[in-house]
Structure 1
Amino acid sequence: MLRLRGRQIKHDSIIANQTLSNPSSLTQHGMRLEAKLALFNALSKLLLVLLGVVVIPPIVGRVAVSHTDERLQEKRQEVLDLIRRDGILTFVQGEEYADYNILKQEYITLTALPNTPQAQHAPHPPRIFVEPRQVDNQIEDFRILSQQFSSNGRNYRLEIGSSLATVELLTATLRRMALWVLVIGAALTIFTDAAFAHYLLQPLHRLIARKLEGVHHPSAFSYEPLTTTTTDFRRLDDSLNEMMRLIQSAFEKEREFMSNVSHELLTPVSILQSRFENMLQDPELGHAYSLKIVDSQKTLYRLRNTVKTLLLIANIENEQYLREDTVSLAAVLADVTNELDDRLAQREVHLLEDLRPDYVLPRANRTLLFTLLFNLISNAIKYNRWGGSITVTGRPHPQGGYRLAVTDTGPGIAAQHLPHLFDRFRRFQGGASAPEGYGLGLPIAKTIAEFHKAPLTVESEEGQGTTFALWFP
């Protein structure tokens, strides 16, 4: 029953750890939604502008021609109204009357027609057409409105013409105005759409910043409701909160499980250890059996250390330790160095301390910090080359706080192993020459670092060594 529960908790905790250790894994690398919306709006507006460049000129041309025709019709009506009011003789004293504007771009002519029964001289409705006309010894194309009518018993032809150059000038002016309006309107809508998309997605940005980025543990998650009027974002916020509650529940079950198992295992281990010691005191025990009991004691000792390590992790995660000490990193490092002098000398590894300046943590746990540095440096010794070196560097961090780095000259770690480096019971350097271990040193270091709100990162390249860095806020 205990085994099944442990497997289920482990499965849940793996999912939770993957989610929390790398919040950016929730989204794939690519463009942000806001950038995609802005790009779509810009491309759609550009497409509209290009379409306008193709469609607007003929439309504007037709509009200009229609406008010219309306002006010709208005002038025809004005002339006919004047003729009805003042009489035809006011305009035509002889056979023809002509009037041009000052630029010769428009004209009005009244021509008396022969009083014959021919159809071409009979009155007819107005017609609009394009024909060349000679003006000041120059032939130009005009758009002409022509109408034949009868007045005082005689037929007349009225022509009102507008130069095509004027029509083309009007067309070009309207085309430029339309294109400018289109371009300016497109640019304004691009900016307004981008601003509105930015405003619309602000709740999503706040959601990511508060509840995804920088959240490496359920205890750091904020369940504060998202303030937004968008229903979709509210649903997303509720779903994230519910998911985090499930993750937190899995973490709590794992903590409880590890704590209970560790406590339960310590008792039988202690009993077995006492029994082995009593058996070794028996004078009738043979030498061969004594050696076997000593080997069993070594295995039991490793098991006891493993159980204690798991219990330490559980106690740290359950916040059973306090941060009430004022701790100097240089002093802790000196204690760790003294503790590891024999192992350094055994492997002929040189340790260089370079803390400039020393950094004092106002609220820390000295015992746990000792364990943290001990595990990092011990790991650097264990996986270093024979006669290598370890450098412990401390410098103020550019963003505030202090950066402490432990660098070794070992073989390095393969890139595919780095994401799982802090997983429990995992080793990556196999082979007969690999040091013994149960893969708990780095998980302990990670747990203690998180307890002190100090991110622990690793950089490594095969053949170039490994660097573990702590950033104390």
Structure 2
Amino acid sequence: MRILQVLNSLTFRFIARYVIVLVTTVSLVLCLLYAFFSYNYFSDLRDSVVEELDTFEAVFRGQSLEGVKQYIDDQGAVPASTSFSYLVTDAAGQKLAGDLPSAPRYREFVGGWLSFQLSLLQSEHASEVDFLARSRELDSGLTVMVARSFADAVESGGLVFDTLVRAMIATLMLGIIGGFFTASFALRRMEQFGQRLSRIVREKGGTERMPLEGEEGYLRELTLLTNRMLDQMSVLMQGVRQVSDNIAHDLRTPLTRIRNQLDQLRSGLDPLRQEAVDRVIEECDELLSSFNALLRISALESGSKSSPDAELDLAALLGDVAELYEPLANDKGISLAFYSPAQLSLCGDGDLLFQMFANLLDNAIKYTPEGGQIELRLQSALTGGARVEISDTGRGIPAADRQHVFRRFYRLESSRGKEPGHGLGLSLVQAIVQYHQGTISLANNNPGLRVVVSLP
């Protein structure tokens, strides 16, 4: 899976395309250079054959056939790379002089140029050697053919081509391998960047910022941009929270007065009107509960409360919560089981923890149908501290909504208008967990929901 991630990354694809374009471009340039030098080589080769024909004709005119034979013998001492081969025939095609066979099988090209192959003995091994030749008629019906081998050019060309192919393959492979490791390094850095950002948003509430130490290049620019974005988000979220806190604070006092006045008016009314006033009082209590929850969440998130330092028995506290809600569960036909060690102590605020687990257990009972089961389980965490699981067999929370349910006033569409509540219960739970420097997660219980709270 890691290899596929690297291969599909933008960095690797960019490097792979760059290497392929580079190899293709270099190969094309080298091929053009090879064609240019090959053209110059064969141009020089043709010119040398023509010059040798002119020289040979001058020797024949000055010294006749005997002088030609002597000239051919003298040329045999010239190094093979610069020597020519000759064939002198009479009008009947009979060989009179030269080191070429009397009738080589050749191909004729435009301009009277000839090409043929001869099997020559080189270093005790016979090999086919390519020649470029041209013939010219002399006086007395004689014809001379001058040929020069271009085997060295063919051999050099083959060597250059093989070297080029191998170099391009090596360049491509090394480029792809280098691109893979470069992309893997870049992907690892981006994953670390994403993990740090996720931790800041998830655990720190956006209060911290991405570190700039050791970052450079585009990643530093991305970090700066991310920090500016976090600053702006923090300002906006703080503004929203401040507005909601101000509303809750400013309305709680007059709402409390209204509620108390209604309670006083209730005693002088007839039973029918008392029932109507009771419903209004219940609505006031619900609003006051929402305002108190908002203010409590804000107090916990702002850190205005001191850190919890009192040692308490979490097993006893959870036992009290289970005992408080057991009658409610029994009335609904739900089985409530509590499992814990004899004692498990940690530092924390007892009132806040009691309210947190009461909210979670109340939600489990509220959304578990009749005949369902709820388990409250306490155990020691492997890394120290405590781990609390609350599992139910209710309808659960869809995976897509689990990351949103801790937001203020967020409620599932399926429960909106059907179940009482103001959408602040899990927000308060998360604030209490973070206040105690713990973590909370939601998972599928197949069926139902499993809430896991880890406390240090």
TM-score (norm 1): 0.68
What is the match of residue 374 of structure 2? Answer: 390
Q: What amino acid does structure 1 have at the position aligned with 2:277?
A: I
Q: What amino acid does structure 1 have at the position aligned with 2:257?
A: I
1:293 to 277, 297, 302: 277
SS in 2 for 1:307: helix
What is the match of residue 215 of structure 1? Answer: 201
Pair 1:257 & 2:243 matched: yes
In structure 1, what is the Cα distance between the partners aligned to 2:282 and 2:89? 134
Q: Is the 8 A contact 1:218 1:247 kept in 2?
A: no
Q: Is the 8 A contact 1:333 1:373 kept in 2?
A: yes
Q: What amino acid does structure 2 have at the position aligned with 1:467?
A: R
Q: What is the CA distance between 1:381 and its match in structure 2? A: 0.5
SS in 1 for 2:452: strand
In structure 2, what is the Cα distance between the partners aligned to 1:464 and 1:188? 52
User: Unaligned regions of 5+ residues in structure 2, if any?
Assistant: 91-111
Matches within 5 A, 1:53-92: none
Q: What amino acid does structure 2 have at the position aligned with 1:184?
A: A
Q: What amino acid does structure 2 have at the position aligned with 1:441?
A: G
Pair 1:245 & 2:228 matched: no
Pair 1:180 & 2:156 matched: no
1:370 to 333, 354, 370: 354
In structure 2, what is the Cα distance between the partners aligned to 1:133 and 1:223? 77
Q: What amino acid does structure 1 have at the position aligned with 2:201?
A: V
Q: What amino acid does structure 1 have at the position aligned with 2:295?
A: L
Q: Is the 8 A contact 1:269 1:304 kept in 2?
A: yes
1:45 to 19, 27, 40: 19
Q: What is the CA distance between 1:32 and its match in structure 2? A: 7.8
Pair 1:468 & 2:451 matched: yes
What is the match of residue 143 of structure 1? Answer: 131
In structure 2, what is the Cα distance between the partners aligned to 1:91 and 1:214? 99
Q: What is the CA distance between 1:174 and its match in structure 2? A: 2.4
What percentage of aligned pairs have identical amino acids? Answer: 19
In structure 2, what is the Cα distance between the partners aligned to 1:209 and 1:420? 19
Greater mean deviation of Cα atoms: 352-361 or 48-57: 48-57
CA gap of 1:52–1:323, structure 2 versus 1, over 3 A, is: same
What is the match of residue 319 of structure 2? Answer: 334
CA gap of 1:401–1:68, structure 2 versus 1, over 3 A, is: farther
What is the match of residue 101 of structure 2? Answer: none
Task: Give deviations 1:411-442, integer Å, cap 9, x for gaps.
Answer: 2334554443233334433488x442222222
Task: Give deviations 1:106-136, integer Å, cap 9, x for gaps.
Answer: 974456799xxxxxxxxxxxx9742355768
SS in 2 for 1:392: strand
Pair 1:315 & 2:315 matched: no
Task: Give deviations 1:312-332, integer Å, cap 9, x for gaps.
Answer: 112112212222133444233
Q: Is the 8 A contact 2:313 2:343 kept in 1?
A: yes
CA gap of 1:73–1:357, structure 2 versus 1, over 3 A, is: farther
User: Unaligned regions of 5+ residues in structure 1, if any?
Assistant: 1-29, 115-126
Task: Give deviations 1:152-171, integer Å, cap 9, x for gaps.
Answer: xxx9968453275x655444
CA gap of 1:414–1:186, structure 2 versus 1, over 3 A, is: closer
CA gap of 1:58–1:140, structure 2 versus 1, over 3 A, is: farther
What is the match of residue 5 of structure 1? Answer: none
Q: Is the 8 A contact 2:308 2:348 kept in 1?
A: yes
CA gap of 1:247–1:110, structure 2 versus 1, over 3 A, is: closer
Q: How many residues align?
A: 415
What is the match of residue 36 of structure 1? Answer: 10
In structure 2, what is the Cα distance between the partners aligned to 1:471 and 1:90? 112
In structure 1, what is the Cα distance between the partners aligned to 2:267 and 2:433? 44
CA RMSD, 1 decimal: 5.0
What is the match of residue 334 of structure 2? Answer: 349
Q: What is the CA distance between 1:188 and its match in structure 2? A: 2.5
SS in 2 for 1:469: strand
In structure 1, what is the Cα distance between the partners aligned to 2:6 and 2:303? 38
In structure 1, what is the Cα distance between the partners aligned to 2:270 and 2:120? 138
In structure 2, what is the Cα distance between the partners aligned to 1:203 and 1:320? 36
What is the match of residue 73 of structure 2? Answer: 97
Q: What amino acid does structure 2 have at the position aligned with 1:271?
A: R
Pair 1:325 & 2:310 matched: yes
